[in-house]
Amino acid sequence: MSSPLPSSPAASVLDLAPVVPVVVVSDASDAVPLARALVAGGLPAIEVTLRTPAALDAIRAIAREVPDAVVGAGTVLTPEQVTECVAAGARFLVSPGWTDGLLTAMRASGVPFLPGVSTTSEVVALLERGVREMKFFPAQAAGGTAYLKSLAGPLPQARFCPTGGIGPATAPEYLSLPNVGCVGGSWMVPADAVAAGDWARVEELARAAAGLRDADGTCR
């Protein structure tokens, strides 16, 4: 990640909270109450994925109405999407993979970014390009904690946000690794709770996720 988050004491989204909620918003009117519930539960960094037509409107609404949230865009695949997301108010960008063109656009955007990797060669290629913080995706399918442990020895300078197949039972094992800053997941935003507008449940699940790592850095 190339630059600090604006208006944030943390230099990296990896250090804001132990879990980054990965959110799919189908109705933009849900974005603000959902974000408020997540922030109240202790998860300020929120990745809104570009998987629905409502995604950009959701990012705009959160950026405008939830000042304590650090809203980002996920599933960013093209340079054009980079431009659209930053214009909408995204404060960080996440991609499931990367190309040189996409990486150039993300670097030029002026906001922090997490390009996705799943192989050692991709990690080395990013390190060669000066990028040290990455998304490890799909985490469970790509080798999980065993794979990340293996990378820590030869490539200790790389830090990861593993995402994909991670839940509350497996998150602590990832968070205990020295090269993992946070994990991404969606278990604190279950579809039935969002559909019902049960923001109290979302807040409760977010609070439990935020507590997976103690203030001293140890995992529960």
**Residues designated as active site:** 47, 135
Give the residue ranges of DSSP H helices in the chain.
31-40, 55-65, 79-88, 100-108, 120-128, 144-152, 171-175, 191-196, 199-210
Name which of 50, 62, 127 is nearest 93 in CA terms. 50
Q: Which two tokens stand for residue 165?
A: 């197949």
Which one, of 93, 9, 12, 104, lies nearest residue 59 by Cα? Answer: 93
Separation between Cα atoms, residue 43 and residue 37, nearest integer Å: 9
Q: Is the link from the previous residue into 168 a cis peptide, with omega within 30 of 0? A: no
